Each structure stands twice: as structure tokens, then as C-alpha cells.
Amino acid sequence: MKLPVIKHLTQFIEDNDEDYIIETIETLENLTEVPSLKDEELDVIGELISNMYGAIEVHKMVKDGTSKKEALNTFMSRVLGSIDK
């Protein structure tokens, strides 16, 4: 996951609508079923999906009253904490 990408996508959600990201995730998840995709291509799609889910999580925290900066830091701390375990 890349914090600048999540931050950008969070801003996109604020400017537009979360539904765009959800529909994009569904599209990308469907694309992963193409049998001719290479592992590298699947990795890129997976990274995009992860960043989009991250942006949705951050957006939910912001909607609940957390500042955007704090929400981003909290989310990344959770991600890094789960990797360390």
C-alpha cells in the first residue's frame, strides 16, 4: 500500500463519491479472473485494489470525525502493525 495513492483516492472520494471506487474495485476483482494474466499483472491489480480499500477505510474514519491526517496515520499504523505480526 502506498500512502500517497491512498491520500489521493481519499480526496477523490471526497470530491466525487465512494461508489466510483467500489465499482472500480468490483471491476478489477473481476479482471483477476482472466486466465491469461501474468503474476506481475495480478500483483499490480492487487496493489490497486488494496489502495482503494484503504482509501475507503480512511474515508470512513474521516466521516466519523477523525482528521484526514490522523485517519491516514492510524490506517497505515494498523497496516504496518499487521505486517509485523
The answer to which of 44-48, 70-74, 78-82 has the lowest mean pLDDT is: 78-82
Q: Is the pLDDT of residue 85 over 70?
A: no
**C-alpha cell at position 78:** 494498523
Judge whether 56 and 14 are in contact, CB under 8 Å. no
pTM (2 decimals)?
A: 0.88
Determine phi and psi for 53, rounding to 5 degrees.
-65, -40
pLDDT digits (tens, 9 = 90+) for 33-69: 999 999 999 999 999 999 999 999 999 999 999 999 9
Summary mean pLDDT of the chain = 93
| DSSP, res 21 | H
Contact 10, 83 (CB under 8 A): no
Domain residue spans of the chain: 3-84
Alpha carbons within 13 angstroms on the beta-carbon side of residue 69 total: 0
Tell me the one-letter amino acid at 53: Y
